[in-house]
Structure formats: C-alpha cells, structure tokens
Amino acid sequence: MATTQTMTPSMKRERRANLRRNAFYLALIVIGLVAPFVAYPVFLMKVLCFALFACAFNLLLGYAGLLSFGHAAFLATGGYVTGYLLSSYPALTPELGILSGTAAAVALGAVFGALSIRRQGIYFAMVTLALAQLMFFFYIQAPFTGGEDGLHGVPRGELFGIISLRNSLVMYYFVFAIFLFGFALIQRTVHSPFGQVLKAIRENEPRAVSLGYNVDAYKLVAFILSAGLAGLAGSTKTLVFQLASLTDAHWHMSGEVILMTLLGGVGTLFGPVVGAGLVVSLQHLLAQSPLGNWVGPILGAIFVLCVLSFRSGIVGEAIKMYRKNFK
Amino acid sequence: MTQEFILETRGLTKQFRGFTAVDDVNLQVREGHVHALIGPNGAGKTTVFNLLTKFLPPTRGEILYRGRPITGMKANEIARLGLVRSFQISAVFAHMTALENVRVALQRPIGTSFHFWKSERSLEHLNERAVELLDEVGLRDYADVLTVEMPYGRKRALEVATTLAMDPTLMLLDEPTQGMGAEDVDRIVELIRRVAQGRTVLMVEHNLSVVSRLCDRITVLARGAVLAEGDYETVSADPRVREAYMGSEAAAEEASA
C-alpha cells in the first residue's frame, strides 16, 4: 500500500522536520528526567499536573476552536473521585484510582459536551461555566468531598501494588510518565485523521458540513478527550498533594487554565506547558515574597500585557520569529 | 414518479419574520443538465440555494432528490447522497495545503475520520488521488502550497477539486465566477464545462455571458418567485424577464465597465 505513495517536496521537508522534532523531544525528555535532581520534585509535579491540564484545555480551544469556561469541573471531578476511592478503599492501587478519576471526568465530559456543543462562541462558554458552577455547588454539599475542608491525607499507596510512591522522586517519575502519555495523546490527536477533520471544521465549518461531516460529533469527541485529560491531571494532582479541595472546582481554576494557555500560546503544542510553568512558578515565587497578597493582580497585569502585546503567546511568538528568520 | 428530474421542489417557501424571500417555487432540474438560477439582486437565488442544500429550513414545501423527499435531512447527510455545494465566498481550508484540502474530502468515506489515535500518515495513500484531482483543475503545481497563499481564482478552482473529490452526482455552485477577472472567468467556465460531463450542475450566476455559454436550462427568479423558465434564447426573449432585469442589469454593466 505504501509503495504507491507520491513523494512531494513538502513531504520530504516534513520528514526532515520530523527528525528535528524527534531530537527536540528527546532533549526535553532528558531534561524532564534530570529535573528532579536540580529542582524541588513536588514543585515540578505541580507544574506537570497544571501543564497537562492546560494542554487538555488547549486541545479544545486551540484545535477545535471551542472556549470552555468550565474546565475546573473536570479537574475537580478527577481529583475527588480518585481521592475518595483511594481514601475509602485502601486495597485500591493508585493507578486504578487515577483511571477511575479519569473515567469519571470522561463521563462528565460526555454529558457536558452533549449539552453545550451546539452552542457557538460566547454561548458555549456560558453554558460550560453554568454547568461547572453546578458541579461546584454539588461538591460543596456532597458528603464524599469533605465540603469546605476537602479530602486530606489521600494515601499514595503502591503503584501496581509493588512500588511505593511515598518517595517524592519515585512519585515524580510516575507523574512524568503520565504527563508524557497525555502529551503524546494530544500530539497524536492533532496529527491524526481526526485532527485533520477538526482542523477543517475550525477553518471553515460550513464547508466541512458540505463535505458530509457531522461537525457536532467531531466537536463532541474533542470535548470528551479534553475533559478526560483534564480529569487525568486532576487525579494525578490529588495523588501528588494527597489532597482534593474546592479550589480545583472553583471558576477561578477555569480562568487560570485560560490564562496559562493564552500566555504560553494557544494552538501550539508546547504553549500550555510553558504557560503553566510560568504561572505556577510565579505563584510559587510570589507566595514566598512580601508581594504574597498580590498574586492575583500581578497575574492579571501579565495577562493584560500578553493580550495587548503578544497575542499568540510566548511559544506562538517564538514560532513566528523562528519562521521569519530561518525560512 | 418522474425519474428524469434529479432535483425537484414543490411549493418551496421561505419566510423571514413575515417577509417572504422565496415564494412557492417549483423547480425541476433534469439529470445531466447544467441548470442556471438567475435573477436580479434580492430575487432569492441564494436563499433557494441554502434551502436546497439544507443550510436553511424551509417554511413550507418539499424538496425531492431522484423522487425521494429530502426535506427533513441534514446538510451533511445530503452531501453524502451526492448533492455537494460550493459557496459564494471561496470556501477553502485556508491554513491547509491544497493537497490537504482535497484529502479532507477524500478521507471521510474510508471511515477513519474519528480515529484520533492513528497517525495522519495513514492518509497518505489518498495523496495520489488528491494530486489527480488537483491536476484535473490545473493545480498540480500548487499541491504543497498553503491555500491562504493562493490567488483568488486558484482558490475557486481548488474548491471545485474538493467538490469533485466527493464524486457528486449533483453539483450546486453558488456564483462560481463572482469577483473574478475575465481571464479567470474563462478558465472557470471551461472547468465547469469539463466537470459537468456525466453530472448535473445547478448554479446561481450573475454573469449572463457565463450562463449563455454553459447552461442548458435557465430559471429566472424575481421577488422570490419563478418568473420564467427555458433555454437561453427563450428566456432572454421574454419581455417580463427583460423588464425585471433592465434596471439591475444596466447597473451591473455600469459597475463592471
């Protein structure tokens, strides 16, 4: 089958670009493996969890053109389900806890998606926000979440029943593996037959319809994938901090992930990672400084600056500069 | 049932808040014809077009495709039946290459379009067919060019190639020569003539010289209703058509001069 392919110059160029990209990925993986010996592992794990969360959000905004204002609901659902199950059933291994949390987020994503996907633009954002608020109030009242107190002391347990995750370094590599899985899945989704259709829909929806595509179904699949990966991030975060709380369900969290994604560069694979790294680092640094109470206003100012001066985000602008100077 | 008509409307009506844009239109498109829908500005041509392709729901009336009612179907469903439309403003996927544009139309029937876990390399076996289609509209050299960087006339040709990829039995073209220079118009006319072989074409068109060169049958709309129908000679000799057209055609000639 592959022998009849026509090899166009762009495909050759693409092959070369792929080689370069693989080398780049390899370098990043090596950095990820060495990182915990240089920086504080818990801090790195926090960055990775938020980076995965932002990547999941970006899959929806950057590649399906849908702005969700309710992604906190998926992060929190993953976290609560994992936290509750691991606290209540000590026999449950952490990977199963994370899988259950992710599955719950997928299910919630299917429901939210089915209810919101037909709306466009700001109406879609409003519907997702309303649904996420509904979940927030549900989680305050529900008995299994610990309400205002949240769930504390979630046991990390033994991975596959053998490897203890109590050690931060071991935990870090587990989180890193999860992040790589999530990132790879998004990368593949973007560059898949499905990703091609998604791109076509984003570029020109009526035309995609006239080519026979049921665009709502494609958007729904993208929404569920995004929700599931956000849930995976939430589940993992609960295991890292051994804590699930209302902070994750609050609409602030939905806003924060938008900030991370836009700051880093929406519609780029690495933008959300850079954005999440930057926001988490800033929060971390500011919390230790005398400016601790000013985290919100400072992040807000950065956001305004970003929207006004470099709209495609840090990675987006970097790509533009690279293209201008090297091509 | 009369099977000679590939597309038929019965009493097709569309009202927008009391304003009747399309009024009781009975349209019959014969299989194998190039059929034009003409009329002065605001005659309801584009509305009829959007009704036929299900981009608008009709207020009343029926649409039949090969004698089978399609009034209740969705836009993407009729596309799968082989009724494929183009758009007034060239409808292309701007940040995809010409090859990818055509390939998106080719990939749906192979059934992997929901497979988010597969590499897009799995689509490469469609490249050959896509290049053939591009060749058919004279765009072979543009295969790797991002569509956003192509000149307007080429984009319209690409749109035709993408439509052809659907292997349509009935092509609905919405003002295919709109906004084009004379040279591009000639190229598109030739292209439509070529791709119309073995197919049926229904087109909305302003340019009467294009209509006279291409079309077997013409339906004239005015104020949402059918004013006249027949071949170019019959229609252009009809005094009512001349009257309805005079004002706006004179204005159009002035504008194009």
**What is the interface pTM, i.e. ipTM, of the complex?**
0.83
Cα distance between the two ends of chain B: 48
Per-residue pLDDT band for B250 (boundaries 50, 70, 90) equals: low
Contact list, B143 vs chain A (CB under 8 Å): 8, 10
Tell me if A191 and B113 make a contact (CB, 8 A cut-off): no
Give the span between the Cα atoms of A174 and A172, in whole angstroms. Answer: 5
DSSP letter assigned to residue B216: S
pLDDT at B247: 57
pLDDT higher than threshold 90 for residue B138 = no
Rounded mean pLDDT of B131-153? Answer: 89
A251 burial via Cβ count (<10 Å: 0-12, 13-18, 19+): middle
- Please check whether residue B70 is in contact with residue B45, taking contact to mean a CB–CB distance below 8 angstroms: no
Residue among B42, B39, B26, B6 nearest B172 (CA): B6
Paired strand residues for B19: B16
List C-alpha distances in Å: A261 to A253, A274, B206: 12, 8, 46
Residue A204 is nearest to which of B91, B100, B118, comparing CB atoms?
A: B91
Contact (Cβ atoms closer than 8 angstroms) between residue A204 and residue B93: yes
Q: Which residues contact A66 (CB under 8 A, 6 or more apart)?
A: A60, A117, A124, A219, A222, A223
Cβ-based neighbour number of residue A14 at 10 Å: 14
Cβ atoms of A45 and A175 closer than 8 Å: yes
| Pairing assessment for the beta strands B200-204 and B170-174 based on DSSP bridges | parallel
Residues from chain A that touch B87, judged by Cβ atoms under 8 A, are 206-207, 210
What average pLDDT score do residues B170-187 get? Answer: 85
Residue B19 in contact with partner chain A when CB distance is under 8 A: no
Which residue type is seen at B114?
Answer: F
Of the two residues A88 and B252, the one the predictor is more confident about is: A88
For chains A and B, what is the number of CB pairs under 8 angstroms?
128
Domain definitions of chain B by residue range: 1-82+170-257, 93-167
Cross-chain residue pair A207–B87, CB shorter than 8 Å: yes
CA distance B38 to chain A (A): 22
Q: Which fold has domain B1-82+170-257?
A: Rossmann fold (3.40.50)
Q: Is B113 on the interface with A (CB under 8 A)?
A: yes
Predicted pLDDT at A2:
45
Q: Domain span at residue A101? A: 40-251
**Residues on chain A bordering chain B, Cβ-to-Cβ distance under 8 angstroms:** 1-2, 4-6, 8-11, 185, 188-189, 191-197, 199-200, 203-204, 206-215, 217-218, 221, 225
pLDDT (0 to 100) of residue B1: 45
Q: Which of B79, B125, B143 sits opposite A4 (nearest CB)?
A: B125
Among candidates B84, B123, B144 on the partner chain, residue whose Cβ is nearest the Cβ of A196? B123
Contact between A210 and B93 using a beta-carbon 8 Å cutoff: no
| Partners of residue A200 in chain B, C-beta under 8 Å | 93, 96, 104
Show residues of chain B in contact with A208, CB under 8 Å. Answer: 104
Q: Is the per-residue pLDDT at B255 higher than 60?
A: no
Give the mutation candidate from A5, A7, A106, A207 for the B interface (greatest B CB count, under 10 A). A207
Distance (Å) from the C-alpha of residue A76 to the closest C-alpha of chain B? 25
What contacts A127, CB < 8 A, 6 or more positions away?
A: A115, A116, A119
Reading the block at residue A19, the tokens are 């080689």
Interface contact flag, B113 A213, Cβ < 8 Å: yes
- Whether the per-residue pLDDT at B185 is higher than 90: the answer is no
How far apart are the C-alpha atoms of B185 and B173, rounded to whole Å?
14
Three-state SS at A103: helix
Distance from CA of A87 to the nearest CA of B (A): 33
Cα three-residue angle A253-A124-A261, rounded to 5 degrees: 40
The whole-model pTM stands at 0.86
Nearest CA-CA partner of B85 in B58, B54, B63: B54
Dihedral sign computed on CA atoms, order B74, B76, B81, B82: positive
Query: Are A199 and B96 within 8 A, CB to CB?
Result: yes
Which residues of chain B from 174 to 233 reach within 8 Å of chain A, CB to CB?
Answer: none
Contact B118 A204 (CB under 8 A): no
Type and span of the H or E element at B44? none
Contacts with B97 from chain A: Cβ below 8 Å = 10
Give percent above pLDDT 90 in chain B.
Answer: 30
- Number of H helices and E strands in chain A, helices first, is 13, 4
Of B103, B116, B128, the CB nearest to A6: B128
The list of chain A residues with pLDDT below 70 reads 1-11, 327
Q: What is the mean pLDDT of residues B160-168?
A: 90
User: Coil, strand, or helix at residue A224?
Assistant: helix
- State the pLDDT at residue A4: 47
pLDDT in tens, A241-255: 999 888 898 898 998
Q: Is B172 helix (H, G, I), strand (E, B) or coil?
A: strand
pLDDT of residue A103: 97
- Taking contacts as CB-CB distances below 8 angstroms, the residues of chain A near B117 are 185, 188-189, 192
What total of structural domains would you count in chain A?
1
Cβ(B85)–Cβ(B174) below 8 Å: yes
Give me the count of residues in chain B.
257
| CA A267 vs CA A50, A225, A231: distances in Å | 17, 16, 20
Which residue does chain A place closest to B128, by CA atoms?
A6
With beta carbons less than 8 A apart as the criterion, state whether B98 and B147 touch. yes
Residues 140-159 of B with CB under 8 A from A: 143-144
CB contact under 8 Å between A211 and B113, yes or no, is: no
Q: How far apart are CA A322 and CA A309, in angstroms?
A: 18
pLDDT digits (tens, 9 = 90+) for B11-57: 999 998 888 889 999 999 999 899 999 888 888 888 998 999 888 99
Strands (E), chain B: 5-16, 19-25, 28-30, 34-38, 60-65, 68-69, 83-85, 170-174, 200-204, 217-222, 225-230
Helical (H) or strand (E) element with B70:
none
Residue A215 DSSP code? H
Q: Do B119 and A212 touch (CB under 8 A)?
A: no
Cα dihedral sign, A117-A120-A123-A124: positive
How many angstroms separate the CA atoms of B32 and B197, rounded?
8
**A193 vs B122: CB contact, 8 Å cut-off?**
yes
Is A9 part of a structural domain of the chain?
A: no
Closest chain B residue to the Cα of A213, Cα to Cα: B76
Mean pLDDT of chain B: 86
- Residue A194 forms part of a structural domain: yes
- Burial tier of B17 (Cβ tally within 10 Å: 0-12, 13-18, 19+): exposed
Q: How many CA atoms lie within 13 A of B95 on its CB side?
A: 11
Take residue A114 and report the two structure tokens written for it. Answer: 């089915």
Rounded Cα gap, residues A212 and B162, in angstroms: 12
d(CA A24, CA A272): 17
pLDDT, tens only, B201-244: 999 988 888 888 889 999 998 888 888 888 888 888 888 888 77
The DSSP bridge pattern shows strands B28-30 and B19-25 to be unpaired
Q: Which of B74, B107, B116, B124 to mutate to test the interface with A (most CBs of A within 10 A)?
A: B116
Asked whether the beta carbons of A102 and A96 are under 8 A apart, the reply is no
CA distance A223 to A146: 29
Query: How many beta carbons lie within 10 A of that of residue A172, not counting itself?
Result: 22
Nearest to A196 among B55, B100, B131 (CB): B100
Under 8 Å CB-to-CB from A313, ≥6 apart: which residues? A261, A262, A263, A264, A265, A266, A268, A271, A274, A275, A306
8 Å CB contact of A204 and B103: no
